[in-house]
Structure 1
Amino acid sequence: MKTVLTNKNISIRTRRRALECYIEPIFMYGCEAWTISKQTQKKLEATEMWFLRRMLRISWTAKKTNDTVLEEAHTTRLLISKIGKRQATFFGHVMRREKLENLVTTGMLEGKRSRGKQREKLIEGLTDWLKAGKSLEAIEATKDRKKWRTMIAVKQGT
């Protein structure tokens, strides 16, 4: 895809569309189960900017800010919000099923906790992304499918 994405004869809009259709789905495979920390979020944003810089043929040594690159590409940063939307949709599906996946996702399994710093849970990252406050609020919101979809849509619009 490098020859298509870096071809100056193809409009930037078409090249961006090719990136969204062919590269991003491969890149985001399985993102519904990722726990995204601040460090992971920075890496994902850097990867998104790397794609755009390659597409615009901007050298990594060129002193162009990310904002100017985004302006040239006529876009904004969308990757993190796309991943958040996919995670929220999947989380709502799992919570409405009320099976084993529900117990695993919410972390309500019996047993001892491991030593050291505890790993971040999917629900904690999701409540941060949705700015829902408490994880219990998010879990309760998943029961009402229309309410959950509007929560996701409102967050997607920001």
Structure 2
Amino acid sequence: MYGCEAWTLTLKEENKLLVAERKIYRKILGPTKQVDGAWRFRRNVDVEDLVGEPNIIGESKSARLRWLGHVERMGEDRAAKRAYLGQPTGRRPIGRPRYRWLDEVRKDLCDMQVADWRLVVQDRNNWRSLVSEAKIQFGSLSRRSN
């Protein structure tokens, strides 16, 4: 999870992370024994119920929002703030534009239906509760299957 605040993941990459996480949990939890005595691997829903924690996507998106709040509140002279507010110059390469970090954050905030996030960021307690809500909202298997 080191540096996950800066990740911009496509759906394909998110799915790969989820598959890897569930594979690790299945290995840790082991198979389950059915009533007829046969062994079977646990299903995704079973793994989520046993673990009871948000998945890796929820953790990374909440970390990204936490970092956004930190950068928004920091002084204008800090390097991270300058990079966040900076506008690149020059020509863009041919082809599809790259995923930008701020676009991903705005999409996450739109999914959470947060309209005026720049004001919410200034109140640390409200922002902290929004970040923990994001962890739950984005880190649930049932939300992703819809």
TM-score (norm 2): 0.67
**Quick check: 1:116 aligned with 2:95?**
yes
Give 1:50 shift.
0.7
1:105/1:122 contact within 8 Å kept = no
Taking the aligned partners of 2:8 and 2:90, their CA distance within structure 1 comes to 21
TM-score (norm 1): 0.63
Tell me the percent identity: 25
Structure 1, unpaired ranges of 5+: 1-27
User: Within 5 A, what are the aligned runs for 1:63-78?
Assistant: 64-71=42-49, 73-75=50-52, 77-78=54-55
Q: Choose between structure 1 and 2: higher helix proportion.
A: 1
Give 1:113 shift.
2.2
Cross-structure match for 1:126:
105
Taking the aligned partners of 2:116 and 2:92, their CA distance within structure 1 comes to 24
Task: Give SS of 1:94's match.
Answer: helix
Highest relative contact order (Cα 8 Å, sep 6+), 1 or 2? 2
Taking the aligned partners of 2:41 and 2:132, their CA distance within structure 1 comes to 36
1:45/1:79 contact within 8 Å kept = yes
Amino acid at match of 1:87: R
Task: Give SS of 1:143's match.
Answer: coil
Give 1:79 shift.
1.6
Taking the aligned partners of 2:10 and 2:86, their CA distance within structure 1 comes to 18
Give 1:111 shift.
3.1
- Structure 1 residues 137 and 120: alpha-carbon distance in aligned structure 2, compared to 1, 3 A threshold: farther
Cross-structure match for 1:49:
22
Among 61, 68, 79, the alignment partner of 1:91 is 68
Give the alignment's Cα RMSD to 1 decimal.
2.8
